Every structure is written in C-alpha cells, then in structure tokens.
C-alpha cells in the first residue's frame, strides 16, 4: 500500500520534472504496485461554437493523437527516469475537451481462486455477451464495484494509511524503504 505522503512526493516529482509546456495542468498521478499513471490536461481544438457533435468528437480524437505522437520522445525520457527511480512502469493519459484517453498502460495479471457459484457468475456474463472470457468478466465485475463504491474504497484506503502510520511508530520497527522514497 502506498501512503498519502508517498503519493504526494511522487506527484511532486512529476510536477517538477515534466516539461512546462507538456500539459496545461497535471490532473492526476495514480500509483499502485506495478504502475504510475500520469494524466494531464491538453488544450481542446478550436472549433466554431455551432460545430456538430461528430465534428467535435473527431477533432478531440485528432488532438489527442497529435499530442501523443508529438510528445512521445519527451514522455519516454521522463518515464525512463521515473521507472528507474520508482521501480514501476509509467503510463500516460490526457484529458481534452471533456474526454479522457489513456495511452499504453499495464494490464497486470491477477490470480484468484473462485468457487463454483462465483465461476457461474462469470460464465453467465460470458454467455450473455457482456464479456469474452472469465478474465474479462472478472475485470467487468471489478469496474462495476469500483463505480458504485468509490466513497467506501476511499475511506478504506485512508484507514489503511492510518494503520501503516501506527505500525511504523510501534516498538522495534524500522521505516520501510519504499520505491517512492528512494532516490
């Protein structure tokens, strides 16, 4: 589990390291055991106020693709440095014109053991065309839970951070050297 202070240090490092002209604003730096995802806001395309929705959508997609190609080398340089420093892969994304797009990002395998009733849920999602495989079905279930329990998960994460702080203050413990703290 990454502490709030570690996340803040990581976000601060990216805010200081990113070229000033890369994003209009650094929107989010998310981190877990495998990956750091950096999302920034880029300017939307200039269009007539009465431009149709299809034109707007295509212009935003074009802007995102243009940004991705134009900034590739700069983003790779920052990612290499960050991956060495924090021992995690770095992924990128942007917000533009109300849309969020993630570029190549980690899809980490997760092993789980499920009993028959749980497997039947996944198989029903496959049979219903919601998912192509048990893996897809499980990912769909996790996204559904995430969407409907964001507040609860945030409270749980805060509680876990508190437990880590209390443990670190306990007798005969040494502060762990975590990747986010290393230089």
For 140-149, how does the pLDDT look when each residue is reduced to its tens digit (9 = 90+)? 999 888 888 8
Location of structure tokens 């994304």 = 93
44-96 pLDDT, tens digit per residue, is 999 999 999 999 999 999 999 999 999 999 999 999 999 999 999 999 999 99
- Can you tell me the distance from the alpha carbon of 44 to that of 64, in angstroms, rounded to the nearest whole number? 9
pTM above 0.85, yes or no: no
177 pLDDT band (50/70/90 cuts)? very low
pLDDT at 180: 52
Cβ proximity of 11 and 86 under 8 Å: no
Residue 181 has pLDDT above 70, yes or no: no
CB atoms within 10 A of CB 18: 16
Quote the mean pLDDT of the chain: 89
């Amino acid at each position: 589990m990454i502490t709030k202070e570690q996340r803040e240090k990581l976000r601060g490092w990216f805010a200081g390291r990113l070229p000033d002209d890369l994003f209009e604003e650094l929107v989010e730096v998310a981190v877990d055991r495998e990956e750091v995802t950096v999302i920034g806001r880029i300017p939307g395309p200039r269009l007539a106020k009465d431009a149709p929705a299809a034109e707007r959508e295509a212009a935003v997609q074009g802007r995102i693709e243009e940004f991705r190609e134009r900034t590739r080398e700069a983003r790779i340089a920052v990612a290499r440095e960050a991956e060495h420093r924090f021992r995690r892969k770095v992924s990128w994304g942007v917000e533009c014109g109300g849309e969020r797009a993630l570029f190549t990002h980690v899809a980490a395998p997760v092993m789980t053991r499920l009993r028959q009733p749980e497997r039947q849920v996944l198989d029903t999602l496959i049979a219903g065309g919601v998912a192509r495989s048990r893996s897809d079905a499980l990912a769909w279930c996790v996204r559904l839970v995430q969407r409907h329990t964001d507040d609860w998960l945030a409270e749980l994460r805060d509680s876990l951070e508190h437990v880590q702080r209390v443990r670190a203050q306990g007798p005969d413990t040494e502060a762990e050297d975590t990747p986010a703290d290393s230089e």
